[in-house]
Structure 1
Amino acid sequence: MAIGAVMHTFTVQLADVDRGVYDELSLRIAQHPSETSAYLLTRVLAYALEYEEGIAFSEGISATDEPAVVVRDLTGRMTAWIEVGAPDAARLHTGSKLAGRVAVYTHRDPARLAPTWVGKTIHRAAEIPLYSFDRGFVEAASAVIERRNSVTISVTERQLYLEVNGHTFSSAITEQPVA
């Protein structure tokens, strides 16, 4: 954990109807001093929306050789590389070669993000989904994050319903290919 990092706990009630995943998650996440609340919340959303056995957070912003969220099988082999924010093409290329599946979750405008990858080498780029949320959704929801958080995440027909500490938000989950 970085010096000056702030620990957050999230008790998450997850109901992802689209994938048939229902669980209660207890998450402890260190927020790096240079990490925004929007990035932190996007990490939590990516974790919940990709939740499966073997999922874990990496060291976050300070991890240079791993994604924000990683899935490993029982042998320790990486099966999914999940990036958050605005990863560069080289990270996506590396992740796509190391893991069977790669995904990107962003709290930024995908129309501004996708052009940064044009013309760059990204292994299996057409198979990498870029997930984004309605404009202002992550920023509004991240404004109510505290050190201890009670969160409910419901997903049905690619619509995300989020409750954070008694405040409710909703957004479509938009998917487009990286390339």
Structure 2
Amino acid sequence: MALGASVYKVHLNLSDTDRHVYNDSKLTLARHPSETEERMMIRLVAYCFNASEDLTFGKGLSTDDEPDLWEVDPAGVIHQWIEVGQPSLERVKKGRSRSAAQIIYSAGRGRDQWWQANASEFAKLPNLTVWHLSELEMAELATLAAKNMTLSVCIADGSAFISSAEQSVTVTPVGELL
């Protein structure tokens, strides 16, 4: 029998002073059986950095036709296609063909080798932004994961200060110029 997704509930208070986005929302995250809590929390961070009225979580690992997150307007136009981890060049090209802009939040072991192998090809793709996340920050971020989370996220000067009642973590993505 196949394992089902684990469900995580998040009460998120977001203050993004860089983009002037402020909201208090309740989110449901489904963690695929093969997904780590660290990767799930990176998806949540990507959500915070790109929060908008039309941004939603995709099916991610369970389908090739959807990204980890995407911004789709009511008319069905995909404005942003957001991937987490180390997507293949083919997957990135597929996202580029379907959306106006694409963002990758790269993280995990082997990230530097993945970037070295793909950077020159990624540079040829218009409207692609790549953010690298520190392994140490991602490990700290994973410690915030719980089945029921209440998180406050303040984004300022490109960094996210994420806190729960017990602890806090700062995440500062480093961007690549393409």
| TM-score, normalised by the number of residues in structure 1 | 0.89
Cross-structure match for 2:116: 115
Cross-structure match for 2:94: 94
Cross-structure match for 2:13: 13
User: Residues 119 and 161 from structure 1, CA distance in 2 versus in 1: closer, same or farther, beyond 3 angstroms?
Assistant: closer
Please list the CA deviations of residues 6-43 of structure 1 after superposition, one character each: whole Å capped at 9, or x if unmatched: 10011111111111111112110111110011110011
Q: How does 1:86-165 map to 2 (within 5 A)?
A: 86-108=86-108, 110-118=111-119, 120=121, 124-125=124-125, 127-165=127-165
Answer yes or no: is the 8 Å Cα contact 2:100–2:127 preserved in 1. no
Shift of 1:66: 1.0
Shift of 1:126: 5.3
Cross-structure match for 2:58: 58
Which runs of 4 or more aligned residues in structure 1 lie more than 2 Å from their structure 2 counterparts after TM superposition? 106-113, 122-127, 132-135
**Secondary structure, aligned partner of 2:18:** coil
Answer yes or no: is the 8 Å Cα contact 1:84–1:106 preserved in 2. yes
Answer yes or no: is the 8 Å Cα contact 1:85–1:104 preserved in 2. yes
In 2, the alpha carbon distance for the partners of 1:152 and 1:113 equals 32
Shift of 1:116: 2.8
1:77 aligns with 2:77: yes
Shift of 1:90: 0.8
Answer yes or no: is the 8 Å Cα contact 1:154–1:160 preserved in 2. yes
In 2, the alpha carbon distance for the partners of 1:81 and 1:29 equals 18
In 1, the alpha carbon distance for the partners of 2:113 and 2:72 equals 31
Q: How does 1:167-178 map to 2 (within 5 A)?
A: 167-177=167-177
Shift of 1:171: 2.8
Shift of 1:111: 2.6
Shift of 1:123: 8.5
**Secondary structure, aligned partner of 2:38:** helix
**Secondary structure, aligned partner of 1:125:** coil
**Secondary structure, aligned partner of 2:103:** strand
Equivalent residue pairs, number: 176
**Secondary structure, aligned partner of 1:136:** helix
User: For the aligned residues, what is the CA RMSD?
Assistant: 1.9
In 2, the alpha carbon distance for the partners of 1:77 and 1:124 equals 23
Kindly, what percent of the aligned residue pairs are identical?
21
Q: Partner amino acid for 2:33? A: P
In 2, the alpha carbon distance for the partners of 1:77 and 1:6 equals 30
